[in-house]
């Protein structure tokens, strides 16, 4: 099986790429600035994109280039060689209030057009909030790191908004199931099915670290949905947020004890 992973140096991409390299003999990876190889692939796992929603407000064209433009080139490669495309969209794309979400939504529309016109086979994965021990972005990392450094955390809004936090290893498991032919082609929710508010996440971090976090509340930079979690997650059993936070905190403590 020949596989291409775009964004293979990023947080999610590096985990998936490393996992696939250990299982398959022909796995290529490209990242920002690399040219796309004109090769025949069985699967293209297209993870390459800019991912920070709030930064997209200041760099709309860059988010178009790195999300929509790159995705179109991937789709053309897949159309040429009959590859199956695996593409992660976002839980936020249903309410496209920013360049990031709009680009994600439009890529999905292009994928469906290619599916209808050219019979492109695709797995569109609606990603929710992905975290893990090697991530250096997102609420789980930011809150855990702040607790260990006894620093305040910033919360946009009142902290009641609900999100679905899924461990990156569970995301990698979903990719395995797809490549093993155990998932029907189509659209899938990659989450836990459990909604956790930001305030609840803070409490989990506090219980794990034994540190009371000082919270600074700020107004939303961009409008955000109040509730986003998977209603029909692909995986029925996932790593709990409590266990995941313990792992992240443990990794950060190791780094603190053995700095580079």
CATH of the domain at 64: 3.40.50.720
Q: Is 198 part of any domain?
A: yes
Q: Is residue 182 part of a domain?
A: no
- Domain end among 111, 127, 143: 127
Which of 127, 143, 176 terminates a domain? The answer is: 127
* Residue written as token pair 């659209």: 187
| pLDDT, tens only, 6-31 | 999 999 999 999 999 999 999 999 99
78-87, 134-143, 206-215, 217-226: which has the minimum mean pLDDT?
A: 217-226
Asked, for residue 183, whether it belongs to a domain, the answer is no
- What pLDDT is recorded for position 9? 95
Tell whether 134 and 227 lie within a shared domain.
Answer: yes
How many structural domains compose the chain? 2
Rounded CA separation 240/107 (Å) = 31
Q: In what order do the strands lie in the sheet with 186-190?
A: 26-30, 2-6, 43-46, 84-90, 122-127, 186-190
Average pLDDT, the chain: 93
> pLDDT tens-digit profile of 148-204?
999 999 999 999 999 999 999 999 999 999 999 999 999 999 999 999 999 999 999
User: Are 219 and 140 in the same domain?
Assistant: yes
176 belongs to a structural domain: no
Question: 28 and 140: one domain?
Answer: no
Based on the domain organization, do 35 and 158 belong to the same domain?
Answer: no
pLDDT one-digit tens code per residue, 46-100: 999 776 677 778 888 887 877 888 899 999 999 999 999 999 987 666 667 788 8
Question: Which domain CATH number covers 133?
Answer: 3.90.25.10
Q: Is the pLDDT of residue 132 over 80?
A: yes
Domain boundary pick from 76, 102, 127: 127
Residue 156 pairs in a beta bridge with 218
Residues 73, 160 within the same domain? no
Same domain flag for 73 and 4 = yes
Domain boundaries, position 243: 129-166+192-260
Whether 114 contacts 120, CB under 8 Å: yes
Report the relative pairing of strands 84-90 and 153-156 from DSSP bridges. Answer: unpaired
d(CA 176, CA 136) in angstroms, rounded, equals 24
| Residue 184 placed within a domain | no
Predicted local confidence at residue 93, as pLDDT: 60
Same domain for 86 and 135, yes or no, is no
Apex CA 134: angle with CA 136 and CA 58, to 5°?
25
Statement to judge: residues 137 and 122 lie in one domain: no
Q: Is residue 112 located within the same domain as residue 9?
A: yes
121/134 same-domain check: no
Tell me, yes or no, whether 121 and 210 share the same domain.
no
Please indicate, yes or no, if residue 79 is contained in any of the structural domains: yes
69 and 153 inside one domain: no
Average pLDDT of the residues in 241-259: 92
| Structure confidence by residue, pLDDT tens digits, 216-241 | 999 987 778 899 999 999 999 999 99
The pLDDT assigned to 223 comes to: 77
The answer to whether the Cα torsion of 230, 231, 234, 237 is positive or negative is: positive
Structural domain contains residue 61: yes
State how far the alpha carbon of 183 is from the alpha carbons of 158, 176, 186, in Å. 38, 10, 9
Tell me if 57 is assigned to some domain.
Answer: yes
């Amino acid at each position: 099986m020949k596989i291409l992973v775009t964004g293979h140096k990023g947080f999610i991409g590096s985990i998936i790429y490393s996992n696939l390299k250990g299982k398959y003999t022909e796995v290529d990876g490209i990242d920002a600035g690399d040219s796309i190889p004109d090769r025949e692939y069985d699967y293209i796992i297209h993870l390459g994109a800019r991912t920070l929603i709030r930064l997209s407000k200041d760099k709309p064209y860059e988010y178009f280039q790195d999300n929509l433009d790159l995705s179109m080139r991937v789709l053309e490669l897949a159309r040429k060689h009959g590859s199956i495309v695996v593409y992660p969209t976002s839980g936020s794309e249903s309410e496209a209030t920013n360049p990031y979400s709009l680009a994600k939504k439009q890529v999905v529309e292009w994928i469906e057009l290619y599916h209808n016109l050219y019979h492109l086979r695709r797995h569109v994965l609606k990603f929710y909030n992905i975290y893990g021990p090697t991530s250096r972005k997102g609420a789980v990392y930011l809150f855990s790191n702040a607790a260990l450094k006894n620093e305040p955390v910033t919360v946009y809004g009142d902290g009641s908004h609900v999100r679905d936090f899924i461990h990156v290893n569970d995301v990698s498991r979903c990719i395995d199931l797809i490549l093993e032919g155990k998932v029907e082609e189509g659209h899938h929710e990659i989450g836990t099915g459990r909604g956790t508010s930001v305030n609840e996440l803070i409490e989990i971090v506090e219980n794990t670290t034994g540190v009371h976090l000082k919270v600074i509340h700020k107004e939303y930079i961009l409008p955000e949905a109040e509730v986003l979690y998977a209603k029909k997650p692909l995986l029925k059993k996932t790593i709990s947020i409590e266990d995941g936070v313990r792992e992240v905190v443990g990794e950060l403590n190791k780094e603190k004890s053995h700095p580079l």
